[in-house]
Structure 1
């Protein structure tokens, strides 16, 4: 709770987070995990994944992230191919192993992890297993448990509206069956967990100007229609300007694929921009933030900066040493030929290619280099948090884990945009996950969770899983609340 209050609790004008909701999250979260484990969902605690603001009161350096065990999707039988493709494909690696593998050029631990994952891949081939990891593993295990419990799962059944009685209470939904409207009644309530609006450019233009649906890695179903439907029956909304930002460099033709990070050909971008020997500058050539830390804050900084100085896109600037050690070596020839990645043997030449005053870029790099050689970022404090260093090269023996001078030519530049892995605003709910009206009254029978709601984390991303964690916890809370009312005969 100390950490929640030092992060989410500091959000301003964020109706999705209240002391009661934050306490419900902390109190019910462990119970929800116990419930999942008791129902056969195999999970594990990550050995090391620092809180994103570990320097704040209550922050944890080891972290508190849990993930699903690797899952053999063949166990789903005919349902296997209904899983969304995983961003790591069928590579059987946990997130934290992936971070180690990213350091294979500079550490024996990274090489060992690469060998271990490689052996898993070989064994999978020999045994016919089809491993999925990360969100795919969690989804696969949840789907398997749901099928085993006899849940009636209906695909291709888009909900178009809610059914309400004369008092305004929600009593069901209108969906589709065989291409025709189909009404489904609900005795205990309706729970909406339909994603956000990352793929709805009209909603983005209204609530998140300057962002693009082409830059999202969110699932294709995040089109926002259920948020709009809840608004039609009086639901209040909040925090619609916020998204789970995920800085990206997207090669031509890779939009909306979630794997657009040019620097290391990996999904997402957070760890690449915090590696030694690189910085991010705006279009004037000035560095304006700590490139480490929360990916959500990174993109908030970019959009805020863009209101003062053009910063969308910004430019990632790095040198050959950094590319060789952390970003896959020389970039593909097609990226260089297309101009997506710029390369030059001098900083002056690179500045000319990206339209920046060479003197300004040279001064920015010199200032950064002076601090990097001392292991100190006096401007923005990169490396002051455990999380910054974890994103860098945490096996590095000499100097900073995240800072390194940009001095070994040739030099590189790549455009960086404020992408996302989901939006962070939606309908306002209470501590029981009930959807609220603008006046604070409850829309009876209507519950919501996940990124269809205004986040309990407010305007901040305190740690890994700050979207999926609340989605699960408040889904669990909603089910218990509705079942309790049902047992009382009140609904």
Structure 2
């Protein structure tokens, strides 16, 4: 499966489809093309596959699949379309959203029937904007089934490891099911048995592997995609390889010039090139223009989304979409320097800020947002508030009881192990709110007033300032065991008091290359650039920067990967096959994972 660029023919080998970027969207597109019998080349410029998908929860939002029948509900595509139309409005063409919905079920069914990629629907996994008509609490968000990384053999080392701070016991991955059982291991025999099983597996793994081989969430999805691609003789991959140039004539894209470790080769393309490189976020100039004021040090994404390949197609007329709610998707993050000098950037998705006994205040000591809203809207609100009053960083505040129950960012629940976090300044602790305000450099009277108002709201269950806990999504992320009237509101009253600094971190690009319903990149005249496609975060978000539900980047990434691959394969077929390529042989799955001695060093 893995190639050495230097071993390719200098005259230019021919591929039906070339995919640039081995994240979730790119690997899916490559797999779809391989399933259809195309000779596929997947090009990745880093040493790992997985991109930011490998860091993510792996949730894939696709309405109307066969998995929806496994959970209660009566969702329809028309209901989902109405929800999206209300959420997105005129920010993007409705035809793109309809193409996504019309192809979603088929995309999921096809990849599951022809590969090791497997999904499941959670009993409850709500849309984020449950206040809108047409939203659901379950059935649209799919999660990858946990995966045994040992099946990859030597290729296991190519899967981008998760953020270390998202693992426990030095490399054991856990998902929401595991966390549920871990928190109840001493209260339930079923939870104890679940924890014992995964712990024993991890102990065994650590005797042979640098980290756990039980992959969950985004790592599970990437592992399954990699295994599936490795089983197909017609799929090849280059790592540590960049795209230097793209050739184009009146018929469309014809070739790519690739560079790997100083070796340069040109590969010819029959069907098309699919861009799935992750978006613009780490391109210095584009970041400055599109994300002003957002420090790259706050970005928790993988390092691959440099936007460099976008520069190659701008002369062809490719351009970015406009009118998005935001140019990126956001989450509040906290930062801590590791022992090796690198920085951990930890997204605060749902496990702390939405819980009772916590509030977020700005640098004046005032609450300024709904702590239980989606992570995207939280990040947007931070930036908007900062225009009027310094709110970056903001401060997540909790008392001793909340810290014991929920933890805070990188600090685990349980109320212990604070010393290293206090020593390096990640966590701030004080005996009183007055002392905490002094340590944070904020107004003590304002902080105490914010806490007093929160405590009063906790008694009534109503937050008249920001409506915290007013939607089904918000309440779902609260504490169902909390005995107060609102699962998101609880008093802050038990010393000691704690704080962590929060920053708005961009978790993915929303603004990208304008495409049509076949994922073909359009020029400034609105015409397709033949043979050029964009999916994932390279494609302008079909939701126009609105984060309506969990997995609204991975879902469209997979579905438009399917659409793009299908169109590119058809285009290759129209051009005719040659070069001794036999479709019948290419379509025959192989369990052999070919890794040369060169590959093993990658």
| TM-score computed with the length of structure 1 as normaliser | 0.90
Q: 2:450 matched to which residue of 1?
A: 364
User: What RMSD, in angstroms, separates the aligned Cα atoms of the two structures?
Assistant: 2.7
1:34 to 109, 125, 149: 109
**397 and 201 in structure 1: CA distance in 2 versus 1, 3 angstrom threshold:** same
Who is 1:157 aligned against?
241
Partner of 1:119: 197
What secondary structure does 1:293 align onto?
A: coil
Alpha-carbon offset, residue 259 of structure 1? 5.2
- Out of 457, 479, 494, the residue aligned to residue 408 of structure 1 is 494
Aligned residue in 2 for 1:445: 531
Q: Does 1:85 align with 2:166?
A: no
Q: Which moved more, 1:95-104 or 1:209-218?
A: 95-104
Deviates more, 1:176-185 or 1:476-485: 176-185
Distance 1:201 1:269, change over 3 A: farther
Partner of 2:358: 278
**Higher mean displacement: 40-49 or 463-472:** 40-49
Match of 1:210 among 293, 298, 322: 293
Could you tell me which of 329, 334, 343 is aligned with 1:244? 329
Question: Which of 206, 216, 224 is the matching residue for 1:133?
Answer: 216
Shift of 1:305: 0.8
Give the whole-Å Cα distance in 2 for the aligned partners of 1:126 and 1:353. Answer: 44
Q: 1:331 to 1:400 in 2, by over 3 A?
A: farther
Superposed counterparts of 1:213-224, under 5 Å: 213-224=296-307
Q: Identify unmatched segments of 5+ residues in structure 1.
A: 262-266
Instruction: Say whether 1:465 aligns with 2:541.
Output: no
For the 8 Å contact 2:363–2:394, the answer to whether it is kept is: yes
Q: Does 1:232 align with 2:315?
A: yes
Change (3 A) 1:287 1:152: same
Matched residue SS, 2:236: coil
**Cα distance in structure 2, aligned partners of 1:255 and 1:480:** 45
What SS does the corresponding residue of 2:120 show, helix, strand or coil?
strand
CA distance in 2, matches of 1:92, 1:300: 29
Alpha carbons 2:336, 2:344 under 8 Å: kept: no
Structure 1 pair 39–363 and aligned structure 2 pair: CA distance change class (3 A): same
Structure 1 CA distance for aligned equivalents of residues 472 and 292 of structure 2:
33
Number of corresponding residues: 480
- 1:344 alignment partner, one of 401, 418, 430: 430
Q: Which runs of 5+ in 2 are unaligned?
A: 1-77, 408-412, 578-602
Contact 1:299/1:419 (<8 A) preserved: yes
**Aligned partners of 2:289 and 2:339: how far apart in 1?**
25
Whole-angstrom distance in 2 between the partners of 1:113 and 1:53: 32
TM-score (norm 2): 0.74
1:21 correspondence with 2:96: yes
1:397-434 CA-to-partner distances (Å, cap 9, x unmatched) read 44321110111112112110011322222111111101
Counterparts of 2:331 and 2:145, CA distance in 1: 24
Contact 1:174/1:183 (<8 A) preserved:
yes
Does the C-alpha gap of structure 1 residues 302 and 488 become closer, same or farther in structure 2, counting only changes over 3 Å? Answer: same
Change beyond 3 A, Cα 1:60–1:71: same
